[in-house]
Chains A and B, each alone.
Chain A
Amino acid sequence: MTGEVAAQVFTRRARGERWRIRARQLRGILRQFARQRSGVLGVLIIALFTICALVPDLLVGPFESVTRASGEKFDSPSPTHILGTDELGRDVLNLVVHGARISMAIGLMATIITVAIGAVIGIVAGFNGGRLDTILMRITDFFLILPTFVLALVLAPVLRELLGEGSEFFGIRVTLLVIIVVIGITSWASTARIIRSQTLSIRERAYIDRARAIGASSGHIMRRHILPNVLSLIVANTVLVFAGSVLTETTLSFVGLGDQLAPSWGQILAFAQSSGAPGIGAWWYTASPGIAIVLVVLSFTLVGHALDSILNPKLAGRR
């Protein structure tokens, strides 16, 4: 009886100790990160756009639809319309700030799917080895070599047709959902490769053998011993994948797979293109969403690299 209580106390203490260690590690990482100027700049820009994505109404008022357009068409920038207006007379600043929510939400969800698939396949393949590893890596190579963007282009309309245009799943419009899923399905391969190679080296460590010796199952070892040790790699990779997802979303929307009623930055550029804005020199209409995209993608890339150099210092030499 007392032994059991002692064991419980011990476990609780060990758990508390673990959290303290983690908190200390986190503080150390933050301190190192604060020293990386480009990473800090990236975080600031991301914070700015996150605010836009969270409360666009507070910043620029409600989203201007076709019927709520507030200006004349193709007005150049003026004090009332700082970034000018589009072909329907909508305020471009309004569109871009509201677009932040769509672009970043799609980017975030696509990233979660991408990293989840990549991490699971990487860990399972690397840990189990053998034929399973060979098969999974063949599939991974297939996705690495193929022009995945074209696969996405082909997959998106087929999925839309299958799910039914105009329907909704979990409150997400099907057009947006298809983009998220398609990006997720087509871009996990490099994540899987990175995670697998790290898993291969962790698998050989002594504590994995020890866990196995006391009877831990493969699933348990993968969850409790491998995953925590590849987590730093996953975090840095997630940030970089986000940059890629935003770019892919932009391109998919630009070629006509976006949602016209919930315009992302790519969809705004598609509007600009189809209205002939570049040809008549309406630079404000084209430049504004593009600059937003470049800033966000660049910031995530900078933060990703900064995190990578702190969390995975051994790999830093490769860059």
Chain B
Amino acid sequence: MGSRFFARRLGQAILTILFVLVVNFILFRSLPGSPERILLRGTRISAQALENQRDKWGLNDPLLPIDLRIDDQGIRLVDFPASLTDNQLVAYVESLAQLDLGLSFQFRGRAVADVISEKLPPTLLLFGIGEAIAIVIGFGLGALAGWRRGRPSDYVGTSVSLVLYSMPYFWLGMILLIIFAATLRWFPTTGMVTPGADFASPVEHVIDVARHLVLPATTVALGLIGQYSLLMRSAVTEVLAEDYVQTARAKGLKGDRILRDHVLPNAMLPAVTLVAINLGYIVAGAITVEQVFSWPGLGTLTVDALRTRDYPMMSGVFLVLSISVVLANLVADMIYGVLDPRVRT
């Protein structure tokens, strides 16, 4: 019973990832202008040489492992499998399995996978810290608001959360930048380290990065706090209506013990899952906050790729972000399944 739940979740995640691969494949193959034209841009070559190039890059192989014929009789499946090995989709998945995401246009032929793995740590640092702050403060505020539903503190907390929730992340970042970096000059405006700085010790280096980190991490945290506190508030409200809370009250337990022992543990679970589910939305914020502060992470990379029409890079970032979000969801589901056997149906 239990293992079937886990197997099904795993199957769904794998299916989703396969779907991502196919969408990604079709999307970028449907671009006008074939890859060899981009690679050989501007050079005069004969039709025969072009044909040889197409053969070499495997562009003459069928796109999909199915042979579809589209004519006046509609779309017909002619042959399946057309050829399981000699088609572009399978070749694509094979190279992905070897972590080959293709070559970047913008970085003059550097491997996309290399560039992405280089930009990943700054993003993880920024979002790890921002996310941690947001979970502590957001859940705290939300629990308080839910517990004191209808009282002034709920009203204030919910209003603040709603306003934060309505703000574009990057705008919040721009405002913080104007106040604390441009006007008060407490923190540097852009980047992750002071350019050209010569650090006497690793400690100084860490302090410099930390100073650069304050504003972007605060932006991320503030952007998420609104969302998280609204989630927690509704989770607490829901739990408060449960019979066992009524029982606890009837037993004469004190308010804060009911909250700590009966409400929070039960509200925490759905709230944490919702955080995982919302990861997909957070990515949007990630991209723009990095852009505002020129943080050298995946977000800035994505925007640069967009600007320079670096399609292999965009496709690579899309894959990496999608697959990580799917995996995060899978992990959250599994943890939920372990902690709360009721969902394993």
Residues of A within 8 A of B (CB): 138, 141-142, 144-151, 153-155, 157-158, 161-162, 243, 247-248, 250-251, 254-257, 266, 269, 272-273, 278-283, 286-287, 290, 293-294, 297-298, 301-302, 317-319
Contacts and interface: CB of A to CB of B under 8 A. Distances in A.
Contact of B171 (A144, A155, A256, A290): A290
- The residue in A254, A272, A281 that gathers the most chain B C-beta atoms within 10 A of its C-beta is A254
- The residue in B165, B174, B283, B306 that gathers the most chain A C-beta atoms within 10 A of its C-beta is B174
Interface stretch (B62-70, B96-104, B114-122, B284-292): B284-292
A317 B234 CA distance: 9
Contact of A147 (B30, B183, B283): B283
B196 interface: no
Contacts of B165: 301
A5 B277 CA distance: 59
Interface stretch (B45-53, B204-212, B252-260, B321-329): B321-329
B148 to A, nearest CB: 16
A290 B325 CA distance: 29
A281 B321 contact: no
A147 B174 contact: no
27 contacts: A142-B16, A146-B325, A147-B281, A147-B283, A147-B325, A148-B280, A149-B287, A150-B318, A154-B318, A155-B27, A157-B306, A158-B31, A248-B284, A251-B170, A255-B288, A255-B302, A278-B177, A278-B178, A279-B177, A279-B181, A280-B182, A282-B178, A290-B174, A294-B167, A301-B162, A317-B241, A318-B238
Interface stretch (B71-79, B87-95, B134-142, B307-315): B307-315
B178 A283 contact: yes
Contact of A149 (B12, B284, B309): B284
A72 to B, nearest CB: 20
Given A251-B284, A256-B306, A318-B234, A269 B15 contact: no
Contacts of A251: 168-170, 284, 288
B28 A158 contact: yes
A101 to B, nearest CB: 19
Contacts of B315: 154
Contacts of A255: 287-288, 291, 302-303, 306
A229 B303 CA distance: 43
Interface residues of B, number: 58
A151 B319 CA distance: 10
Contacts of B169: 251
B229 interface: no
The main secondary structure of chain A at its interface with chain B is helix
A202 to B, nearest CB: 24
B127 to A, nearest CB: 13
A188 to B, nearest CB: 14
A278 B283 contact: no
A278 B180 CA distance: 11
Contacts of A148: 280-281
A232 to B, nearest CB: 21
B199 interface: no
Contacts of A290: 167-168, 171, 174-175
Given A251-B288, A255-B287, 11 more contacts: A138-B12, A141-B16, A142-B16, A146-B280, A150-B321, A153-B306, A161-B31, A255-B302, A266-B168, A283-B178, A301-B162
Interface of B: 12, 15-16, 19-20, 23-24, 27-28, 30-32, 162-163, 165-171, 174-175, 177-178, 181-183, 189-190, 234, 237-238, 241, 277, 279-281, 283-284, 287-288, 291-292, 302-303, 306-307, 309, 314-315, 317-318, 321-322, 325-326, 329
Contact of B281 (A149, A151, A269): A149
B80 to A, nearest CB: 19
Nearest to B230: A319
Contact of A298 (B163, B291, B318): B163
B32 A250 contact: no
Contacts of A294: 163, 166-167, 171
- The residue in B12, B170, B279 that gathers the most chain A C-beta atoms within 10 A of its C-beta is B170
B10 to A, nearest CB: 14
A145 B241 CA distance: 29
Contact of A254 (B162, B234, B288): B288
A273 B190 CA distance: 12
Nearest to B299: A255
B30 A158 contact: yes
B241 A286 contact: no
B27 A158 contact: yes
Contacts of A248: 284
A66 to B, nearest CB: 21
A147 B306 contact: no
A257 B170 contact: no
Given A145-B329, A255-B288, A150 B15 contact: no
Contacts of B177: 278-279
B277 A281 contact: no
Contacts of A301: 162, 165-166
Contacts of A142: 16, 19
B291 A273 contact: yes
